[in-house]
Amino acid sequence: MSTKGGSYTRFRRALDSGNLTLVRAAAAELPTINLDDALRVCAMLRAADPSRYEQAVIRWLGRLCLERPTTTITDLRLALAAFDRLPDEPEQAEAELRQLVRA
């Protein structure tokens, strides 16, 4: 297995564990994280490190705009609304955000 594959596997295991310290350490080994995985990190930060949550969301939204050039203002409004609902409706909000990534 390549180093990148091994690093990504460790990162995915860390995400699955829900341990933010492990996630941060594993993410540091990667050159980048895809938007789906970054969304999972945002959700983890909301619960484990709320002081860093807002900045993570802003970075995620910026990446959405850069990596998905067809992103519209309406898409950004939908994303913000989904992030606002994340604490109360985590499954539905994350599903809506993932839909924006795949659009």
Q: How far is residue 24's CA from residue 9's CA, in Å, rounded to a whole number?
A: 14
pLDDT at 74: 97
Q: How far is residue 73's CA from residue 85's CA, in Å, rounded to a whole number?
A: 18
- pLDDT digits (tens), the chain, 103 positions: 445 569 999 999 999 999 999 999 999 999 999 999 999 999 999 888 888 999 999 999 999 999 999 999 999 999 999 999 988 899 999 999 999 999 8
Q: How far is residue 91's CA from residue 24's CA, in Å, rounded to a whole number?
A: 23
pLDDT at 5: 60
Which is it for the CA torsion 75, 76, 77, 78, positive or negative? positive
Span 12-41, pLDDT tens digits = 999 999 999 999 999 999 999 999 999 999
